Chain A
């Protein structure tokens, strides 16, 4: 006796493939991001001994920028995923909040907030390998945003 007819098996397989395709499509629109709060310093060692230097690839990029510091240390780091059209808010410190909106096509809108007040908004593409660095308020803190590996 047959448990399942061929029609049922084929239909179930089609449904499975369809759902898998939709899931893959939905997942493909997600952006996996990595945000770091980094402080710049001209001291070879940070004032806070607990801080670690930024990753070498980020360090190289930061050193190429026309900033006045030579050394960069990670204060905090957050990894998160933002769905297409969605916004993710996260705090990098008690005074620094960011909000990232996934605009699709690997474009993001980064909103920077300091001490609870919005500082500004940056909209640009953020493909793998691209890095967005934002700072302000005459502070030595900067936010580094890029796609997570």
Chain B
């Protein structure tokens, strides 16, 4: 008898077969002595197991009993996560590594400002020097600085212009 036939007998005994299949199996066991013997043995085994099964009763209610089990399972969960953690360490590192990567990128973007822009400023820009350029032909510019007051006056004038700068402090005009 094949394993498939044995399983079919077991299914028949457990009432898992459709009615037509069940009828076929019943006819088969009536024709085949081996099949009938196996079916009998399976019935006896099931009966023996059913008789010997312990019927335990607990003092708590059903809900309370299962809630205790649920709590125990929940207590065990972190331990399971801890065991699994070494495999998933990259997830823990994702945030710190991501943050470090962003910091690095920002730092790289900031460094050129420090290294390139500042030297240019130092070389080309002398403290409080005033540089004046005129954009029109035949024009001139007069610069006056009041250092104490922090005021600089620049007057652009064409050659024919009347200069509005008075003669109050001619010596101070550059």
Contacts and interface: CB of A to CB of B under 8 A. Distances in A.
A18 interface: yes
Nearest to B128: A125
A148 interface: no
A130 B156 contact: no
Contacts of B98: 11
Interface string A115-128: 00111111111010
A66 interface: yes
B130 A124 contact: yes
A25 interface: yes
A130 B161 contact: no
B157 interface: yes
A64 B149 contact: yes
Interface string A86-115: 000000000000000001110100001000
B150 A130 contact: yes
A62 B120 CA distance: 33
Contacts of A131: 149-152
A138 interface: yes
B151 A122 contact: no
A24 interface: no
Nearest to A103: B125
Given A8-B95, A66-B172, A137-B158, A129 B135 contact: no
Interface of B: 92, 95-96, 98-99, 102-103, 106, 110, 117, 121, 125, 127-136, 139, 141, 144, 146, 149-158, 161-170, 172-173
Interface of A: 5, 7-8, 10-11, 14-15, 18, 22, 25, 40, 61, 64-69, 85, 103-105, 107, 112, 117-125, 127, 129-138, 140
